[in-house]
Structure 1
Amino acid sequence: MTSGPAIYGNFTIDDLVYPNGSTRWGVPGGSAVYAAMGALLWTKVSSIVAPLGADYPITLLDKRIDLSRCRSIPKTMRNWGLYEEDGRRHFISRNESRDWTYFSPALADAASGYQAAAHIAPLPFEATKQLIEELRAGGTKSISLDMDDHDLLGNRSLKKMMELVSTVDLFMPSQQDVLALFPGKGPLEAMHQLRSLVPEVALIAIKCGAGGTIAHLAGSEEYLRIPAVHVEVIDQTGAGDAFCGGVLGSLARQGDLLEALLCGAVSASFCIEGMGFSSLLEATGEAANSRLERLRQRVERAPCK
């Protein structure tokens, strides 16, 4: 099986607590899975590069996800996922899963194969830095990055964070992430500050949940606002990861950044329509293209100031 776009991240099994007090226990997921599912709407196959626990139910995954580069480990990372009314979420690892690096891809995993395009989902800072260096050395042409707000809230300087961001092609943080970088700033003001700090990054896209996505292409005199696709929201888990996967999957296929952003929004819309990744599994190419066509008419542009 050809590897397609490669997703570097984690497999997890999560116990979720929602704002209304409802809960779900033992939910298979993980950033790598949602991103790979999001990519599959726009590409024939995607691959995951991550340690794979023996207890993870891989039979639930789409067969087009290539797991051949997943290193086997005894158990899957286990988290509590806590959701708030304003859309913020907090994932807390259980005691036996506190060593995040153990559950994350290593340099040897990155060296196990070649990919033209790779997405790095939230991972420990040092692991992310080393993976980017290894991927560049191995000839990966397009690298997209999502970061973890635990790192963004840590004791690393903004300068160090931006030095890392400057080494990738696409930076796709959430609104919660940019608030950690720039407390009190709205998405547009945060975008302006990000762009001033990393002017060469080809795409910066801030994911704002129901508010859609604020994006800027390097050198453009306009900001883009990609609205969220209107669907009934059942479960927001993994939507940001599905967006990132959709962007990378589309970009790997046709190379247009605006089109890739639209595809990312469509992938996220399928994700939130069901529990876990069930709706992404059920999504069809025909339905995805229909949503994509409608979304193209709703892109908003505003001049940079």
Structure 2
Amino acid sequence: MQPGGAALYSAVGARVFNDHVAILSNISSNYEFRSEIRRLFPHAHIRIRKGRSSRFRIHYTQRGEAQYLASRIGVGKYLTAEEIYRIGRRYQLIHLAPMNPNKVLKAVLKLKMDDQHKVITHNTWMGYMYGKNRRLLMEIAKHTSFFILSEREIKKLTRMNSSFDAIKKIEGRVIVTLGELGAIYKEGDEISMIPAAVGIPGEVVDVTGAGDVWCGAFISAYGLTRDIHKSAIAGSLLSSLKCRGWGFEKIVRLKFRSVDELIEYVVRLKEKKHRSLREYTN
């Protein structure tokens, strides 16, 4: 068992570039990793609720695709759109982890009405892509700053077999992550490929939370650079690094002042210049 949850993984990804990352969530009184979250995120907005923690049993295929054998959504589901708005209005960069699409849309509309200049990103989950949720997710994509999906997710959402064709069906600024290849980005009628820049050495150990780390690294890097391509490269590199160890052990101590520093770190890692890597950890 290891600490999990999309919000936690995305916050760990964002923390690599920013010391002031806050996480908003509900946890149960029996949540085993409460002290670790408090240590990593001293600015966290955490409510202890009666009930059970979320639990997932996941099997990964040889291609790294997640198959959910069992899932139980816990007290996190009681987080309301009003709470997200009340806390979120204090921040200029907001990533909304996978939640009920109706709740997400309400929160996004309120936040954008309050301040059109907020950067809001959202990624979702395959389990939400059914019935009227498909329409809600398409609507969310129009109002978020960036709507982020994996190849499998965008194909399921649009019911299309090609990621390239599927991305054309969604309005708004859409990013499709391609694992270690990088990402596809669409804005208006323009579609571009963003390669991951540098390959990561080592075997893939654990892909849990890789997409969420990608999102956290992306929005945090975007806050530094306002450069979509550089931010997507940061997401691809950091999520690949995360997959080289269990949980988030490979990235939780990393700190970078810029995306260029992250790229330099990966190049040095590839060249096996281990002695110079300590300067990037805290």
Task: Judge which range, 154-163 or 129-138, deviates more.
Answer: 154-163
Q: Give the SS at the match of 1:193.
A: coil
* Equivalent in the alignment of 1:265: 236
TM-score by length of 1: 0.75
Matches within 5 A, 1:34-113: 34-54=9-29, 55-61=31-37, 63-74=39-50, 75-91=52-68, 94=71, 97=73, 101-102=77-78, 104-112=79-87
Check whether the contact 1:56–1:76 (CA below 8 A) recurs between aligned residues.
no
Check whether the contact 2:148–2:176 (CA below 8 A) recurs between aligned residues.
yes
* Equivalent in the alignment of 2:278: none
Q: Does 1:283 align with 2:258?
A: no
* Equivalent in the alignment of 2:104: 128
* Equivalent in the alignment of 1:245: 216
* Equivalent in the alignment of 1:30: 5
* Equivalent in the alignment of 1:174: 150
Check whether the contact 1:31–1:122 (CA below 8 A) recurs between aligned residues.
yes
Provide the rounded CA distance (Å) in 2 between the counterparts of 1:119 and 1:71.
18
Deviations 1:211-267 (CA, angstroms, capped at 9, x unpaired): 4322234464x5123237423211111110000001110112221211211111122
Task: Give the direction of change, closer, same or farther, for the CA distance of 1:158–1:78 in structure 2 (3 Å limit).
Answer: closer
Q: Give the SS at the match of 2:220.
A: helix
Distance apart, 1:187 and its partner CA:
2.0
CA RMSD of aligned residues (A): 2.9
Q: Give the SS at the match of 1:122.
A: coil
Q: Give the SS at the match of 2:45.
A: coil
Distance apart, 1:128 and its partner CA:
1.1
Provide the rounded CA distance (Å) in 2 between the counterparts of 1:50 and 1:105.
10
Q: Which amino acid aligns with 1:216?
A: K
Q: Give the SS at the match of 2:252.
A: helix
Deviations 1:35-54 (CA, angstroms, capped at 9, x unpaired): 01111112222111111233
Deviations 1:137-166 (CA, angstroms, capped at 9, x unpaired): 4436111011121222x1127544322210
* Equivalent in the alignment of 1:13: none
Deviations 1:75-115 (CA, angstroms, capped at 9, x unpaired): 421122222223221336545x477623x454224313511
Provide the rounded CA distance (Å) in 2 between the counterparts of 1:282 and 1:255.
24
Check whether the contact 1:145–1:168 (CA below 8 A) recurs between aligned residues.
yes
Check whether the contact 2:180–2:240 (CA below 8 A) recurs between aligned residues.
no
Distance apart, 1:174 and its partner CA:
1.0
Provide the rounded CA distance (Å) in 2 between the counterparts of 1:247 and 1:234.
22
Q: Give the SS at the match of 1:108.
A: helix
Provide the rounded CA distance (Å) in 2 between the counterparts of 1:262 and 1:208.
11
Check whether the contact 1:251–1:260 (CA below 8 A) recurs between aligned residues.
yes
Task: Judge which range, 75-84 or 172-181, deviates more.
Answer: 75-84
Q: Which amino acid aligns with 1:271?
A: K
Distance apart, 1:291 and its partner CA:
4.5
Task: Give the direction of change, closer, same or farther, for the CA distance of 1:287–1:281 in structure 2 (3 Å limit).
Answer: farther
Number of residue equivalences:
261
Check whether the contact 1:178–1:187 (CA below 8 A) recurs between aligned residues.
yes
Check whether the contact 2:27–2:76 (CA below 8 A) recurs between aligned residues.
no
More helix by share: 2
Distance apart, 1:168 and its partner CA:
0.7
Q: Which amino acid aligns with 2:6?
A: S
TM-score by length of 2: 0.80
Distance apart, 1:183 and its partner CA:
3.3
Task: Give the direction of change, closer, same or farther, for the CA distance of 1:70–1:127 in structure 2 (3 Å limit).
Answer: same
Provide the rounded CA distance (Å) in 1 between the counterparts of 2:243 and 2:102.
31
* Equivalent in the alignment of 1:226: 195
Provide the rounded CA distance (Å) in 1 between the counterparts of 2:160 and 2:18.
38
Q: Give the SS at the match of 2:159.
A: coil
Q: Which amino acid aligns with 1:130?
A: K
* Equivalent in the alignment of 1:256: 227
Aligned-pair identity in percent equals: 18
